[in-house]
Amino acid sequence: MIDRPFLGIVLMLGFCMLAPLGDAMAKLLGDELSVGFLVFVRFAAQVILLMPLVWLAGYPLPRGAWLIRMTALRTVLHIAGIGLMFTSLQYLPLADAIAIAFVMPFIMLLLGKVFLHEEVGPHRLAACAVGFAGTLLVVQPNFVDVGAPALLPMGVAVVFSLFMLVTRAIAKEVDPIGMQALSGVMAVPVLGAALLLFPETDRLTLSDMDEGTWWLLIALGALGTFAHLLMTWSLRFAPSATLAPMQYLEIPIGTVIGYLVFRDLPNGLAALGICITIAAGLYIILRERRLARLAPPHPMPPVEG
C-alpha cells in the first residue's frame, strides 16, 4: 500500500479529538474505580466491539509467528501506556498530563529515522519545535509543585513512542480491526487475572456502581477503541515522522475538554500557546497537501498485447 499522507493526517486528527475525551472519562472515574479495572474495561470494550466485526464481516486476524509476536508486544506497550496515563490523571489536571507527555513526537521522530529509515526534513523538525514551544505556553509543567507524579506522563511518552513504532512496522501488513481485536483478546485474560490476584477493596464494586458510572465506562471503552483504530489506520497511510507534529493538537483539544468538564481555564499565555500549536498542526496539513499536489503521478504500466 502506498503512503497517502493527507489521509493519514485526517485520521490522526480524529484520534487527537477522541483520545482526550477518553482520558477525561478515565479521570472522572479514577476516584471511584481502580486504574487496573479501568484498563480492563478499556480492552474488554475493544473485544466486545470488534470481535463481532471480525466474525461477521470477515476482517482477518494477524497470522504468522512474527505478526503475532509483534501484536503481543504492541499489546503489552498499549497496556503499559494506558495504565501510566490513567494513573497520572489521578494526580494531574488533564491538560497538564497531556502537555508533559508531549516529548513523545520528538522521540517518535528519532525512532522513525533510526529504525524505520524515514525521511525527517527541516520543515517537520521546525514544526515540531514550534509545536513544542506552544505546549510550554499552554501548560507550564512545574516539577517542583507537582512532584514525582509529573514523571508519569513522560513514561507515557516513551511507551507510546515504542507502541507507535511497532504499529507503524506492521500496520501495512495487518487489518487494523483484526489487529485491535486480537490485541483485546490477548489483553483481557491477563488484566482479568491481575484484578483477581490483586483486588483493591477500597474501590466501588460492580453492585455499587450507579447508572451514570456505567455510562461513563461504556464511553471510556468506546472512545478508546475507536480512537486507537483511527491512529492505527493513520499509520497505514503516513510515516510516523509526518504524523508526529499533528499530535500536538491533543493539547488544545485536551485544554478545551478540561475546561468544559473540570473547569480548568487556561490563562492568557496558555491561550497564545494554543494558537501556536494549532498553527503548527495546520502548517503540516497544508504542506502535505501541497507536496501531494506537486508529486509526479505514478507511471501507468505498459499494456501488453
Neighbouring residues of 238: CB distance < 8 A, sequence distance ≥ 6: 3, 4, 5, 7, 8, 9, 12, 288
| Each residue's pLDDT tens digit, 184-198 | 999 999 999 998 888
pLDDT the model gives residue 176: 84
With both helix axes pointing from N to C terminus, report the angle between 268-294 and 5-29 in degrees, rounded to the nearest 10.
Answer: 150
Neighbouring residues of 106: CB distance < 8 A, sequence distance ≥ 6: 128, 132, 244
Distance CA 140, CA 100 (A): 9
| Each residue's pLDDT tens digit, 86-132 | 999 988 888 888 877 877 777 776 676 777 676 767 777 787 778 77
pLDDT the model gives residue 243: 78
CA dihedral 177, 180, 181, 184 (to 10 degrees): -170
Cell triple for residue 40?
480492563
Least confident of 185-199, 200-214, 217-231: 200-214
pLDDT at 71 over 90: yes
Cell triple for residue 214?
456505567
pLDDT the model gives residue 305: 36
Q: Give pTM, 2 decimals.
A: 0.80
Distance CA 184, CA 164 (A): 17
